[in-house]
């Protein structure tokens, strides 16, 4: 009980905006490109040596609950432009790494044959239960309708994804990825986002995906919640830099959440930057929306 009170107090204190606490940090791990991340609420690892470069494992300290599957949270998966996929998966490519102080870790992929872009991801502690992930793309040549498909995979205790969607004639609300709506569900921000999803980029083998469209998102905000404890893992992006939110149907064993980032042409020599946020804690839907407003106000 005392531990729970202390953890909660640390989370609330961080929410006051006093800067990143000393108790939230990254440090070098045992491997060459392995890094440990720690806070009063969370303990995890990022391994940038190949296969997967994302947060995995990740454990909620209070209960010892595992949150991330082996595919990790905040890992780059596919990279697209109009009707084109640059590589099968970014996961197979080892990244360069660099610590920037105690609270910031950068992973970086230089441009190469078949990859006319520099891709950088910067993990940054905000509070004990909040991590931001900044994505930076530097175009070596024109990248038409460019997309970074950002993936996050959780454990079986979080079987249901909920997305904040528009309701025709009503107030926006969270919607579960009901299996009746399809196995793989996409929630674009508008007709432009829908046209990108359907421009042919997702028909390219191997592993093409036939996305169904249950609704448009109201905000690029998605979460999974552990029913017994109320522990919520939410992801949020800014609408101007995210043209779709995706998830599989409830109960699908990927237990995943995705963002389609950018969705615009980046000219050679230009740079595009956006930030997404991972928020973890025991919170209801109203608190999630309050936190989303707080996130967007920092733009």
**pLDDT tens digits, one per residue of 113-150:** 999 999 999 999 999 999 999 999 999 999 999 999 99
Q: In what order do the strands lie in the sheet with 65-66?
A: 25-28, 34-38, 42-47, 55-60, 65-66
Higher pLDDT, 49 or 231: 231
> What is the residue range of 260's domain?
76-297
pLDDT, position 2: 34
* Residue 208 in domain: yes
In a domain, 192, yes or no: yes
Kindly calculate the radius of gyration of the chain based on its CA atoms and give it in whole angstroms.
18
In a domain, 94, yes or no: yes
- The CATH number for 173's domain is 2.70.98
pLDDT band at 50 (very low <50, low <70, confident <90, very high): confident
Give tens-digit pLDDT for 208-225: 999 999 999 999 999 999
pTM score, whole prediction: 0.92
- With the C-alpha atoms ordered 281, 286, 289, 293, is the resulting torsion angle positive or negative? negative
User: Is there a domain that residue 17 lies in?
Assistant: no
Query: Does any domain span residue 185?
Result: yes
Given this model, what pLDDT does residue 299 score?
58
Q: Is position 80 within any domain?
A: yes
Angle, CA 67 vertex, CA 87 and CA 74 arms, to 5°: 30
What's the domain count of the chain? Answer: 1
- Tell whether 214 is covered by a domain: yes
pLDDT attached to residue 194 = 98
H/E stretch holding 13 reads helix 2-15
Higher pLDDT: 108 or 50? It is 108
Q: Answer whether residue 41 is part of any domain.
A: no
């Amino acid at each position: 009980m005392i531990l729970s009170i202390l953890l909660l107090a640390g989370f609330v204190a961080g929410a006051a905006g006093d800067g990143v606490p000393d108790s939230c940090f990254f440090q070098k791990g045992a491997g060459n490109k392995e890094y440990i991340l720690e806070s009063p609420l969370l303990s995890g690892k990022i391994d940038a040596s190949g296969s997967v470069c994302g947060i995995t494992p990740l454990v909620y300290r209070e209960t010892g609950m595992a949150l991330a599957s082996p595919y990790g949270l905040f890992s780059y998966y596919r990279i697209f432009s109009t009707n084109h996929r640059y590589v099968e998966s970014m996961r197979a490519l080892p990244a360069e790494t660099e610590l920037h102080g105690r609270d910031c870790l950068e992973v970086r992929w230089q441009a190469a044959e078949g990859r006319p872009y520099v891709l950088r991801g910067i993990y940054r502690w905000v509070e004990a239960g909040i991590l931001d992930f900044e994505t930076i793309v530097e175009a070596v040549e024109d990248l038409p309708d460019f997309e970074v498909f950002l993936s996050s995979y959780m454990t079986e205790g979080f079987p249901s994804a909920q997305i904040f969607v528009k309701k025709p004639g009503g107030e926006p609300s969270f919607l579960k990825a009901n299996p009746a709506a399809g196995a793989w569900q996409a929630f674009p921000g508008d007709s432009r986002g829908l046209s990108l999803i359907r421009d042919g980029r997702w028909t390219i083998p191997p592993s093409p995906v036939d996305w169904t469209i249950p609704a448009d998102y109201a905000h690029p905000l998605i979460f999974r919640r552990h029913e017994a404890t109320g522990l919520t893992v939410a992801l949020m992006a800014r609408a101007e830099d995210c043209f779709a939110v995706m998830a599989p149907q409830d109960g699908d064993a990927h237990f995943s959440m995705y963002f389609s980032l950018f969705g615009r042409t980046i000219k050679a020599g230009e740079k595009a930057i956006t930030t997404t946020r991972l928020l973890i804690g025991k919170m209801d839907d109203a608190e999630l929306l309050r936190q989303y407003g707080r996130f967007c106000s920092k733009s």
